Structure 1
Amino acid sequence: MQKLILITGASGAIGSATAEALAEAGASLYLHYNNSKKAVEKLAQKLQENYPSQTFTCLQADLSCEKGPDQLLMQMDKPVTGVIYASGFSEINLFQDTPLETTKKMIQLQLTSPFRLLQDLIKPMIQARAGNIVLVSSIWGLKGASTEVLYSMVKGGQNAFVKALAQEVAPSGITVNAVAPGAVDTSMMQLFSPEDIEYVKEEIPMGRLAQPDEVASLIKYLMSDKASYISGQIVSINGAWYC
């Protein structure tokens, strides 16, 4: 049976790299985006040309607002066999200066929306007694980060969500995991100056940032049958930055 997988945040560096990795493995994909329509459509066209026997469908929804999950679900006409939640943005600010509106959007995007989406999408998986779920968390959800308290909080919440949900659905044959990247060479790093990025590289024992395709390879493995006994894990990919 061909897999049909939802990737949220498919326009991002990790999301698009994951889409390419899973398409190569034979999966059809729902490719979610919010604002980056052209990028996702270009990705879908490329995948369709390379894998004509599979389907690649673009879906738009703003998952940082309350109605976002239902807007996304309304566009999906087939049950999925797996979900990768890769949506996100970072907020760098002093704790006491973090705007309330930013806090609401971050909690909605990183906690409420995946909770709501999976409440619906997991039902057919339970009936089929099979399915794979991966959330893209962060190293900051494990160790926390100064000036990224809000981001650290929601990523820590995702990690707890993964551990609890994994235990609940394990009897139904569903795996639930998270990957927790360290510093990855994506647009999020543009929030930092070149000097700050060099400092981060010096702090990482491997001396470099991760590449999106390295994170995608880990996600691909966790979504595969070879990882069928791995569940409830927060797998950190960080170049030995945090062990």
Structure 2
Amino acid sequence: MASLKTVLVTGASKGIGQATADLLAHEGYNVIINFNKSEKEALSLYNKLKNKGLSVRIYKANVSKKNEVKDMIDFCIKEFGTIDILINNAGISQEKLFVDITDEDWDNMINTNLKSVFYCTQEVLKHMISKKRGKIINISSIWGMIGASCEAHYSAAKAGVIGLTKALAKEMGPSNIQINCITPGVIQTGMLDSYNQNELNVLRENTPLMKLGSPKDIANCVLFLVSNRADFITGQVISPNGGFVV
């Protein structure tokens, strides 16, 4: 049985999830690459890492579906015998006036960005609690901290992730399980595809470091939190945002 620590990264086919899975695999972790729709990108990442001799697996699951999450966690245990770290990264975004948000828009946002964290965390904790160890990193957003105009449902879901992190950190602390939250600032991922150059320039100008973040910036933060250097950190909201929120 592999002795390396095992990490599950949800939504690992693109952006922050991809950078995180890539970095952790190179750092010697067993990594399960979860994807739902972006099979081409997920397979590309898997093949790249596998060809380097790194310990990776790939698994398709809609993390807003409880039965698919359970099957995925069972797969992780079957493959590696344990699951030590969960990175709840899967998420979607949408810009829309609040009065135009439909029931479907709201449910899709909450299910993908918040309910998925509930399902994945609950299933993983069944294994972590008995072992008295584990780490969970939830990827939220600065908009969950301060809100974003025309992204009320996104902001609400991401704020829910922050609240869940803090509550669970208190509940799981006696079981030696650390649960933290990362709230990225404006990061250069596909979620910015709808922004024009002028809008991106405004975001840069409103960031004290005068630049947008990269997925690797967030992955580096994840790497620290999952390491033994962060064993006394739990219930915290850490925001790599270039000073956008201070």
TM bracket, shorter-chain basis:
over 0.9
SS at match of 2:211: coil
Q: Does 1:60 align with 2:63?
A: no
Instruction: Give the C-alpha shift of residue 67 in structure 1.
Output: 4.8
Query: CA deviation digits over 1:84-107, x for unaligned, max 9?
Result: 011111110111101211111111
Q: Does 1:223 align with 2:197?
A: no
Match of 2:235 in 1: 232
Query: CA deviation digits over 1:33-92, x for unaligned, max 9?
Result: 011112111111211222x2x531111112345654345345432431110011111110
Alignment match of 1:19 (pick from 18, 21, 26): 21
Match of 1:173 in 2: 176
Q: Aligned partners of 2:56 and 2:91: how far apart in 1?
A: 22
Match of 2:113 in 1: 110
Instruction: Give the C-alpha shift of residue 119 in structure 1.
Output: 1.1
Percent identity between the two aligned chains: 33
Q: Where does structure 1 differ by over 6 angstroms across 4 or more consecutive aligned residues? A: none
User: For the aligned residues, what is the CA RMSD?
Assistant: 1.4
SS at match of 2:193: helix
Alignment match of 1:80 (pick from 83, 91, 106): 83
Match of 1:139 in 2: 142
Q: Does 1:162 align with 2:187?
A: no
SS at match of 2:183: strand
Structure 1, unmatched stretches of 5+, are none
Alignment match of 1:128 (pick from 107, 120, 131): 131
Q: Aligned partners of 1:156 and 1:209: how far apart in 2?
A: 22
SS at match of 1:181: coil
For 1:32, the aligned partner's letter is N
Match of 1:148 in 2: 151
Structure 2, unmatched stretches of 5+, are none
Q: Aligned partners of 2:96 and 2:71: how far apart in 1?
A: 31
Match of 2:37 in 1: 35
The alignment of Structure 1 onto Structure 2 pairs a total of residues equal to 241
TM-score (norm 2): 0.93
CA contact (8 A) 2:69 2:123 kept: no
TM-score (norm 1): 0.94
SS at match of 2:233: coil
Match of 2:10 in 1: 8
CA contact (8 A) 1:145 1:152 kept: yes
